[in-house]
Structure 1
Amino acid sequence: MPSKKQKAKNRRNVSTVNWVENKDGTHSIAVASKVKPDNTQKGNSWVQLLNPDSGKSARKYTTDENANTVQFEEMTLNEVENKSNDDIAQIQRLIDMKRGKLEMCTLPSYDIPKEIWNSAETGKQLRFGFPIEKCRSSADYYVKTYETMVYLEEAAQTLFVQSFNQDDVDFSYTGENQIFYFMKEKRMAEINGAIDENLLDCFVLEPHKKSDFFTVERYSGQIKRKSAEKIFVQMSEESFSKFNSICMEQSFDIRFCLNRTPYQLQHFALDILNEQRLFTALINNPKYDETGNSSKTPPEILIDFSPNLKLNPEQKLAVQSIVNATSKPLPFVLFGPPGTGKTKTLVAAIEKIVRLTDKNVLVCGQSNAACDEIATRLIPALTEDEMFRMYALSYDVHKIKSDIEPYSNRIGKEFHYPPLQFIMKYRVVICTLCTAGTLTRANISPKHFSYVIIDECASAHETMALIPIAGLCTETGKVHANIVVAGDPKQLDAVTKSDQAKKLGFGTSFMEHLFERPLYKCDPETNEFCGKYITQLIRNYRSHESILKIPNELFYNGTLLAKASDDATNWFVNNSLLPSKKFPIIFRSVQGNSERSDANKSMFNTNEVNMVMEYIDKLLKLKLKNGERISQSDIGVVTPYKMQRRCISQACHRGNLDDITIGTAEVFQGQERPIIIVSTVRSGGNKLGFVNNPRRFNVMITRAKCLLVIVGDPHLLQYCSNWRKLITFCLENNALVQSRYRYPSI
């Protein structure tokens, strides 16, 4: 009998399944096989069509690749099953998914109050009827404060989105499914970034040349996907015909609309928290102020850890605690510093829950990338009947990975929310925090999910973390699920546009608030956490010990242990590129002009761009001691500024270096590369901007496995204590490459 892994592999190789529209407007399912059936001649391919309404018959189309002939043959469902059981299972899954749709309540509008709009536009501070530092002391204060912060953030994001509005834009029809595209060089990189952050969703078009005699016609649509030079949009059904007939004759003004759903869902979660009286259970539980009891209770579920899992002691402890719900009804925290195997631990816990219990798991992440990473790692362990990866309807279908697709809610060229009964068949459901709100709106049973796991919790607003909890697994005064929050509060926090919301504390995550309470704090005497409620992973399998040293001392109290293999970290030891042969860090001193872009006010530094490109050139020409060469995909370039990222990207593109990853710290959080080049951009004077941000500093210098190159101005960076410590460390190890403006030796 084939193993589960082999069966999963076979399933992924057999066929591609899509919906086909019939002439009468109904739909059938087409299965295009990658394997030639026994009864077809050499060179033939075949497609099966199954009518989802009857489920009783199918047609087989056999086409000869050398001749344009098509043969038809009626087949019974049993005969189709004999061709491939895996194909039929996939077909049946699509039929079940398409039979209905998820019935959801309509979200209240939650329009931004006028006084908050005025405050966001003018910068005038809002007044509260209570001391803001008391906002977590009562449910009323809490809901009022967080409602205001969500409104402020939405207002700030709305103003930001409106800054992307374009005039005099030409549109072209792709010929596919009401999809058009436009090209506009002005701010295209920023528009692409905003799309990636799910900020730009819907839009309204109106003719650029307006008549004084007729009402202006408006056309609505939605952004579907993007490329480097084009934005693809889908016009609404009511707009398509008219727009298609005139789009080639004139240009349009495009007005972007903010995707309001995440903000509505945050308000909805706050409403449920208030109505179900969950403030004491979730936000200000008196037990948070107790001291953790280190005594160990025998676990109810004994876990046999296979050597194949390769879990270390801390990871095993975390899995044991998660599966046994040791912290319930309080949240369990998985504290995962860089490179310590947080995702691996979560995946192991999810697999054990499925194999050792009959309970269901909801897994959420702040980003689709985090959700996809967990789903990908679970594929070898879970079948398509056990795991469901649910994407938002607005997600770009072109981004979905082929191995995840059989587990997803994709049907043809779009995503579909299937009926609740369909979703509840799965043991593990994976989606973003925002998409989890669809389950709350569908009134799923609060006892259906026994575990709710929130990855990247430290980089999500607290109100976002409430979406998969409040109303989804709660009733009045009670949380039914074991809540697991995973992340690292020492890395980047939630991105917050509103300065006023930031000052009120909106950027502080639910996870970080837990860290402030005695129950989740490290014991100063033992330097340990209470394992019943929190586990810190301490073994770093990513970085060379020299690269790990400074962040370990600055942010993790020296608790991290460098456990990466020499094969992964010693590529450059004794290499001529290193100023200090056994020290794989280079700090290259560069003084240049840090300029500000007129288009987006972001900063860039041409001298640093040139130096980054010089190092890339050296690296790609270099031969390692094992005779191998560096590939482009081994290199990552991280910079705090979006304009610097764009300048470096353009320079790489001109040199056909498109496989090098270039991004901000936000892009690189959760990623790693053998080689990381950091461009700090700022130079001269004593103003550091958010280069001074300790979390951003931590992320930028902990992505590298075997070589860290910093390109920056040490004369400026020394004004930040964290950067000064790193500069001093490089000086001590003869790794600071001086410019003509020498940085003083120790």
Structure 2
Amino acid sequence: MDIPAFAEKQIELLQAERHADITLQTALLSTLPPNALMRHGLALTNLLPTSQRTGFGGRTIIDLEPDSAIFPTGLLPPHGIRQGDIVRVEAQPGGSASKKEKTEAKAAGIEGVVHRVFEGRLAVAVEAAGDEVDRVWTGKRLWVVKVANEVTFKRMEKAMGFLKTVGGKGDTTGLVDVLFGRRAARDVAEEYEKMEVNWFDEGLNDSQKQAVRFALASEEVGYEWMVAHYGVRLALIHGPPGTGKTQTLLEIILQLATPPTTNSSTPPTPKKILVCGPSNISVDNIVLRLPSSLPTIRMGHPARLLPKVIERSLDNLTRTSEQGEIITDVRKEMDDLLSKLKATGKARMKGRARKEGWDTVRHLRGEYREREKKCVTELVKWSEVVLATLHGAGSKQLWSEKFDIVIIDEGSQALEAQCWIPLLLTNKSGIQKLILAGDPMQLPPTIKSHTKAAIPKPPRTKTEIPGSLEITLFSRLLAIHGEGIKRLLTTQYRMHATIMHFPSQELYNGSLIAAPSVAERLLCTSLPYPVTETEDTSIPLLFIDTQGGFFPEDPSPHTPSTKSPTSESKSNTLEARLVATHIHALITAGVRPEDIGVLTPYSAQVSLITKLLRGAYPAVEVNTVDSFQGREKEAVVFSLVRSNDKQEVGFLKDERRVNVAVTRPRCHLCVVGDAETVGRGGKGAFLGRWIGWLESAEGVEVRYADVGEVLAGWAGGIEIERED
């Protein structure tokens, strides 16, 4: 494959994606009023700055509280701003503000990251100096708006630019050659897969142990011999839903970072490992399982980390180390001075004293950052395992560090350009191994810039350049090197065997096996609290057929010429009521609301079902399929929504989305939808086979919905307030 041409195409696709992201955001901000933006979770208005202090990296953390003239309770109104969101804080123009005033307010705004969210306060970490915050915002009412993450795009484009350069010069390493098919990935000899391993986790099943041996195989003969004879090692671990992929990666990390004691005269050397994932949660899930005795550091903004991970975060370790004590003293001095500068009335510093105060803050901030930089460097060198998101691996704090191995989890959910950030970061130090884990049969990264409706296919040859960002590194490597570079995990510990059966046969070649502990689990027998045995709680899989046109999807309230950025989604009111009625039956039988999830392909249906349930059962989680990937519930109701004469199925045509939805439940799956529309929809035969299986398989109960019963049932009389 032509590496410069590949990199250039990636840059082109990334720029199109960035443009689509910005266009969507601009359309929303320009067409929706502030209150509507709040309803859609994009903004928070009528805030006042109340204090500021110094945070990690010398950032200024400003506290924003609701204006008491508008919110007398002192509480923030309902909103969708979450910890870790990237936001822009701007002076809020009045209702009569001119276009010029609005433009000036936007230009004076400052971007930051939501540090903490409280009932009556929002803390935002910004890069701006305290005097800039003071000058722009003092005495002004503010609002906070979510923005696109420009840093991620810039780092991906930078990585692709670097790849283009080294590829053009022919200055590629063994890793790059393997990842582009210029060099064959080493096939692991059978004897090495049978090598003796001193397991940290003796409970691993056979397929997990095989995957671990496969990833470690070159360790047995030593890196020098391996590099000389075979070049860079590459291992892919294919982890279908519930098969213990994270548990397998944990064993690999421990084997590499703390190799068990052996009788060999040349025992294995611990390796420096960089572990990455496309999201913070994918990384945190690994951090939580690593033993506290292992020198570990979690890179990343503390606002985006799980609370239980904070103690291993760079921010916390910086504050609690020996160097951190000096840094803490500098921070306290800065914060004390900032408090004086923010004082009002007679205590307010004025004139020359105020200017000198801000000059001192700037000097202290410089000293703070210098000491912090030295502390961070020492901590990273101390750590045997460094964990970060893929784009977080591109931070300056890791530029000078050398790693032996890169492990990427959830590789099938990551853009390929994201994966190159840690790979190129460690490339100069001669990375010896890449371990990539994921499941190409689940959803790829979400792409907003599609110009075609067809689902992109991986390259058919080693020289074909992918034409879509949906083609992941995981899928491309499989297409280039074949199944020999992959090991499949086959025992799943989540689902009842009946729920597992169809996805196993259709998408995993019938390879999945339900562990005995889960194979027969039911709501009425397997939960840690009593649940009454009913016709609903005693079955693993239920299909409620809405029978053609009896439950039609709702017509769009917009014509093509009046569509708004939020009007593209689909909903089905009668189907939503049917879903709510089934949930009521499960809860009446004793299933706890927090153990139930409702999934649907469309955000409009999410909104509809949420409104039906929020009064009686707010703890029932309702979400899109895409947002629920990687999670599970005891019971899941899957609302298909689509029911029309044209057999249009929209998002359901992607079998990976269906796979994600039907593999989330542990005990009970209820599919609600129109068999006629869905069974005949889509260009392939997958949906038809799925509906056919639901209608005929042993262990699946089929019921036919009745409109009259639905309208007379529990959810039939609930009023739904609609939004245009």
TM score, norm. by length of structure 1: 0.68
User: Does the CA-based 8 Å contact 1:340-1:539 persist in structure 2?
Assistant: yes
Which structure 1 segments of 5+ residues have no match?
A: 1-136, 522-529, 623-628
User: Does the CA-based 8 Å contact 2:88-2:111 persist in structure 1?
Assistant: yes
Shift of 1:562: 1.7
Rounded to whole Å, the distance in 2 between the matches of 1:268 and 1:554 is 39
Which of 673, 683, 690 does residue 726 from structure 1 map onto? 690
User: Does the CA-based 8 Å contact 2:403-2:426 persist in structure 1?
Assistant: yes
C-alpha change, 1:456 and 1:189, in structure 2 (3 Å) is: farther
Residue type of the partner of 1:718? G
Shift of 1:361: 1.1
C-alpha change, 1:238 and 1:651, in structure 2 (3 Å) is: farther
After superposition, give the CA deviation of every residue in 1:404-426 in whole Å (9 maximum; x if it has no partner).
22111234899987522321210
Residue type of the partner of 1:265? R
Q: Does 1:405 align with 2:321?
A: no
Bigger mean CA offset, 572-581 vs 697-706: 572-581
Rounded to whole Å, the distance in 2 between the matches of 1:190 and 1:516 is 47
Shift of 1:687: 1.0
After superposition, give the CA deviation of every residue in 1:41-75 in whole Å (9 maximum; x if it has no partner).
xxxxxxxxxxxxxxxxxxxxxxxxxxxxxxxxxxx
1:436 corresponds in structure 2 to 393
After superposition, give the CA deviation of every residue in 1:66-124 in whole Å (9 maximum; x if it has no partner).
xxxxxxxxxxxxxxxxxxxxxxxxxxxxxxxxxxxxxxxxxxxxxxxxxxxxxxxxxxx
Shift of 1:583: 5.1
User: Does the CA-based 8 Å contact 1:572-1:706 persist in structure 2?
Assistant: no
Q: Does 1:310 align with 2:203?
A: yes
Shift of 1:262: 0.9
Rounded to whole Å, the distance in 2 between the matches of 1:565 and 1:596 is 46
Rounded to whole Å, the distance in 2 between the matches of 1:631 and 1:741 is 27
User: Does the CA-based 8 Å contact 1:638-1:700 persist in structure 2?
Assistant: yes
User: Does the CA-based 8 Å contact 1:639-1:664 persist in structure 2?
Assistant: yes
Residue type of the partner of 2:671? I
Rounded to whole Å, the distance in 1 between the matches of 2:545 and 2:506 is 22
1:652 corresponds in structure 2 to 613
C-alpha change, 1:653 and 1:481, in structure 2 (3 Å) is: farther
Residue type of the partner of 1:443? W
Which of 278, 294, 297 does residue 366 from structure 1 map onto? 278
Rounded to whole Å, the distance in 2 between the matches of 1:535 and 1:268 is 32
Rounded to whole Å, the distance in 2 between the matches of 1:405 and 1:281 is 38
1:526 corresponds in structure 2 to none
Rounded to whole Å, the distance in 1 between the matches of 2:676 and 2:257 is 55
1:608 corresponds in structure 2 to 575
Aligned pairs, how many? Answer: 565
Q: Does 1:486 align with 2:450?
A: no
User: Does the CA-based 8 Å contact 1:152-1:500 persist in structure 2?
Assistant: no
Which of 468, 492, 495 does residue 505 from structure 1 map onto? 468
Residue type of the partner of 2:399? N
* Aligned pairs for 1:623-662 within 5 A: 629-655=590-616, 657-662=617-622
TM score, norm. by length of structure 2: 0.70
Rounded to whole Å, the distance in 2 between the matches of 1:693 and 1:637 is 19
User: Does the CA-based 8 Å contact 2:237-2:486 persist in structure 1?
Assistant: yes
User: Does the CA-based 8 Å contact 1:334-1:534 persist in structure 2?
Assistant: yes
2:13 corresponds in structure 1 to 149
* Aligned pairs for 1:308-387 within 5 A: 309-325=202-218, 329-356=232-259, 357-378=269-290, 381-383=291-293, 386-387=295-296
Q: Helix, strand or coil: the match of 1:535?
A: strand
Q: Percent identity between the aligned chains?
A: 21
Which structure 2 segments of 5+ residues have no match?
A: 35-43, 53-61, 71-75, 220-229, 260-268, 320-327, 332-368, 457-466, 526-530, 558-563, 709-724
Shift of 1:719: 1.7
Rounded to whole Å, the distance in 1 between the matches of 2:51 and 2:241 is 43
Greater share of residues in strand: 1
Residue type of the partner of 1:462? E
Which of 262, 268, 272 does residue 152 from structure 2 map onto? 262
Q: Helix, strand or coil: the match of 2:190?
A: coil
Q: Does 1:286 align with 2:182?
A: yes
User: Does the CA-based 8 Å contact 2:537-2:668 persist in structure 1?
Assistant: no
After superposition, give the CA deviation of every residue in 1:349-404 in whole Å (9 maximum; x if it has no partner).
112222214211111011111111111111xx232x61111123xx526x5323x2
Which of 463, 472, 478 does residue 417 from structure 2 map onto? 463
Shift of 1:592: 3.6
User: Does the CA-based 8 Å contact 1:325-1:482 persist in structure 2?
Assistant: no
Shift of 1:673: 1.4
C-alpha change, 1:568 and 1:223, in structure 2 (3 Å) is: farther
Rounded to whole Å, the distance in 2 between the matches of 1:704 and 1:255 is 35
Rounded to whole Å, the distance in 2 between the matches of 1:388 and 1:592 is 53
2:366 corresponds in structure 1 to none
Q: Helix, strand or coil: the match of 1:730?
A: helix
C-alpha change, 1:648 and 1:687, in structure 2 (3 Å) is: same
Rounded to whole Å, the distance in 1 between the matches of 2:608 and 2:123 is 24
Rounded to whole Å, the distance in 2 between the matches of 1:595 and 1:300 is 60
* Aligned pairs for 1:550-569 within 5 A: 550-566=502-518, 569=521
Rounded to whole Å, the distance in 2 between the matches of 1:144 and 1:374 is 34
Q: Helix, strand or coil: the match of 1:240?
A: helix
Residue type of the partner of 2:216? V
User: Does the CA-based 8 Å contact 2:544-2:705 persist in structure 1?
Assistant: no
Greater share of residues in helix: 2
C-alpha change, 1:438 and 1:302, in structure 2 (3 Å) is: farther
Rounded to whole Å, the distance in 2 between the matches of 1:701 and 1:196 is 30
Rounded to whole Å, the distance in 1 between the matches of 2:251 and 2:612 is 42
* Aligned pairs for 1:564-583 within 5 A: 564-566=516-518, 569-572=521-524, 577-578=534-535
Residue type of the partner of 1:722? F
Q: Does 1:274 align with 2:175?
A: no
Q: Helix, strand or coil: the match of 1:549?
A: helix
Q: Does 1:520 align with 2:515?
A: no
Q: Helix, strand or coil: the match of 2:643?
A: coil
Shift of 1:572: 4.6
Rounded to whole Å, the distance in 2 between the matches of 1:663 and 1:213 is 40
Q: Helix, strand or coil: the match of 1:603?
A: coil
Rounded to whole Å, the distance in 1 between the matches of 2:677 and 2:500 is 23
User: Does the CA-based 8 Å contact 1:540-1:564 persist in structure 2?
Assistant: no
CA RMSD in angstroms comes to 3.7
C-alpha change, 1:176 and 1:554, in structure 2 (3 Å) is: farther
1:589 corresponds in structure 2 to 546
2:93 corresponds in structure 1 to 207
User: Does the CA-based 8 Å contact 1:181-1:233 persist in structure 2?
Assistant: no
Rounded to whole Å, the distance in 2 between the matches of 1:557 and 1:142 is 32
After superposition, give the CA deviation of every residue in 1:271-299 in whole Å (9 maximum; x if it has no partner).
222333338514322344x8x75742447
1:54 corresponds in structure 2 to none
* Aligned pairs for 1:527-538 within 5 A: 530=484, 533-538=485-490
C-alpha change, 1:294 and 1:161, in structure 2 (3 Å) is: same
User: Does the CA-based 8 Å contact 1:473-1:481 persist in structure 2?
Assistant: no
Q: Helix, strand or coil: the match of 1:469?
A: helix
